[in-house]
């Protein structure tokens, strides 16, 4: 009796939507969580929250002590070491701007300071820790399947390519949530608990939503790029090296170009100051008046306390025109826009376009590589 069909019989059953992706994601999470160093890394990612939790407590202590308001005192950091409320005033001055008679109310100042503290938390320690953890976990997710020829197991079952991709994305999305979103939400809850009144919930109700959107903004480009690198090679070490090399090279390029801009601006300031001082009369009375027909040179403002916290909180009057070149800095600008801190379109649009192109290219590479075995 001749054989007319020796191939696989087509699948005629029904598969619950998302069930295959859920199984792949759950299996990937279980395999990754078996790693002792990964558990320690996730636990360590919560430790920076202790410092920021103390900042929340100090700020709310300043509110309770009545040290905040339009005319709050300008304290130095060394004056506030022994007083938690005074330290909260320093934090408010650093993140909320200089006090003035027509400054923000206490509720408005609380929203500003909380937003910038949460942004600094997600932008400075958590984003760096996330880049390290993703660079160590993601490279093995797809390359390991390529090397072990797991496609023979996956695609002989009713598993679509999109199910496989979504399952792998969920594995990394859970890491993003555990390192960035959940600690930030815990900080917001802690801030509510240490506040003098639960009315603070009405003032800061939008911050949890901004935290979730910021975490999604951080997750999408990083996860797609990491999985794209993993799908391009059989060796996870090569994918890991490519991941860290990309972040490091882009960071160095951004730093070099930014430093060049700063040096050029400082050279212009020195030339203007030199020309102004040469043309300025030496009389003491005339020195107090601006020279006719010439604008006075720009003067460098005095250094502010907690300068690192100000930068991480998105307080920078100078636009970063090279942020689009580095994924870390581009994500920082977009996160600042999500929290409502950065509102300049000329600063926001280039990083958004850069991250969008990066996500599209990485997604296309990932889909092409995952579907390649089925097309052979």
Provide the token pair at 253: 């390029």
Tokens of 20: 């295959």
Q: Tell me what pLDDT residue 8 has.
A: 53
CA distance 94 to 306: 7
**Angle between the 161-176 and 139-148 helix axes, to the nearest 10 degrees?**
150
Task: State residue 309's pLDDT score.
Answer: 73
The pLDDT assigned to 49 comes to: 84
Let me know how long the chain is: 376
CA–CA distances in Å: residue 207 to residues 14, 19, 114, 140, 358: 42, 33, 8, 35, 27
CB-neighbour burial class of residue 102 (10 A; exposed 0-12, middle 13-18, buried 19+): exposed
Mention every residue, 6+ apart, whose C-beta is less than 8 A from residue 232: 239, 242, 365, 369
Maximal C-alpha separation, the chain:
116
Q: Are 294 and 300 contacting, i.e. CB atoms less than 8 angstroms apart?
A: no
Q: Are 168 and 24 in contact (CB under 8 A)?
A: yes
Q: Output the CA–CA distances (angstroms, integers) from residue 146 to 103, 136, 300, in the order listed.
A: 60, 17, 56
Task: Give the closest residue to 144 by CA, choosing from 222, 245, 27, 43.
Answer: 27
What is the model's pTM?
Answer: 0.79
Quickly list H helices, 65-199: 84-96, 106-121, 127-137, 139-148, 151-154, 161-176, 182-193
- Quote the pLDDT of residue 73: 57
pLDDT at 356: 93
pLDDT at 195: 81
- Tokens standing for 158? 């009713």
DSSP 301-338: PPPPTTHHHHHHTT--SS--TTGGGSHHHHHHHHHHHH
Q: Are 93 and 55 in contact (CB under 8 A)?
A: no
The pLDDT value recorded for residue 282 is: 44
The three state secondary structure string of 175-237 is HHHHHHHHHHHHHHHHHHHCCCCCCHHHHCCCHHHHHHHHHHHHHHHHHHHHHHHHHCCCCHH
141 and 38 Cβ atoms separated by less than 8 Å: no
Give residue 359's pLDDT: 92
- Consecutive sets of 10 residues in the chain, 376 residues long: mean pLDDT of each? 54 58 80 81 84 85 70 53 68 67 72 88 85 84 76 65 83 87 91 82 90 90 90 86 90 88 73 58 46 50 61 74 89 90 88 93 88 62
């Amino acid at each position: 009796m001749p054989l007319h069909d020796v191939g696989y019989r087509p699948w005629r059953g029904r598969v619950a939507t998302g069930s295959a992706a859920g199984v792949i994601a759950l299996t990937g999470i279980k395999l990754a969580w078996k790693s002792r160093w990964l558990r320690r890394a996730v636990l360590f990612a919560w430790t920076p929250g202790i410092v920021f939790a103390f900042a929340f407590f100090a700020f709310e202590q300043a509110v309770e002590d009545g040290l905040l308001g339009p005319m709050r005192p300008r304290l130095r950091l060394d004056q506030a070491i022994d007083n938690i409320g005074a330290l909260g005033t320093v934090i408010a001055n650093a993140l909320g701007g200089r006090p003035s008679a027509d400054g923000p109310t206490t509720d408005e100042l609380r929203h500003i300071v909380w937003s910038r503290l949460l942004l600094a938390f997600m932008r400075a320690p958590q984003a760096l820790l996330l880049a390290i953890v993703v660079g160590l976990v993601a490279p093995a997710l797809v390359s390991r399947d390529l090397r072990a020829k797991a496609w023979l197991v996956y695609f002989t079952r009713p598993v679509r390519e999109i199910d496989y991709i979504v399952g792998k994305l969920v594995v990394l999305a859970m890491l993003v949530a555990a390192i960035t979103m959940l600690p930030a939400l815990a900080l917001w809850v802690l801030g509510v608990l240490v506040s003098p009144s639960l009315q603070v919930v009405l003032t800061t109700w939008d911050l949890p939503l901004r935290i979730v959107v910021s975490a999604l903004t951080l997750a999408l480009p990083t996860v797609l790029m990491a999985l794209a690198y993993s799908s391009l090679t059989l060796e996870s070490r090569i994918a890991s090296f490519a991941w860290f090399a990309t972040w490091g090279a882009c960071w160095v390029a951004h730093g070099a170009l930014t430093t060049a801009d700063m040096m050029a601006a400082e050279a212009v300031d020195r030339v203007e100051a030199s020309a102004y001082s040469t043309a300025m009369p030496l009389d003491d009375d005339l020195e107090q008046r601006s020279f006719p027909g010439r604008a006075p040179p720009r003067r460098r403002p005095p250094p502010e306390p907690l300068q690192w916290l100000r930068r991480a909180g998105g307080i920078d009057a100078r636009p970063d025109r090279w942020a689009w070149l580095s994924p870390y800095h581009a994500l920082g600008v977009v996160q600042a826009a999500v929290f409502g801190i950065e509102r300049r379109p000329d600063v926001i649009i280039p990083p958004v376009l850069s991250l969008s192109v990066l996500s599209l290219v990485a997604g296309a590479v990932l889909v092409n590589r995952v579907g390649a075995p089925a097309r052979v």
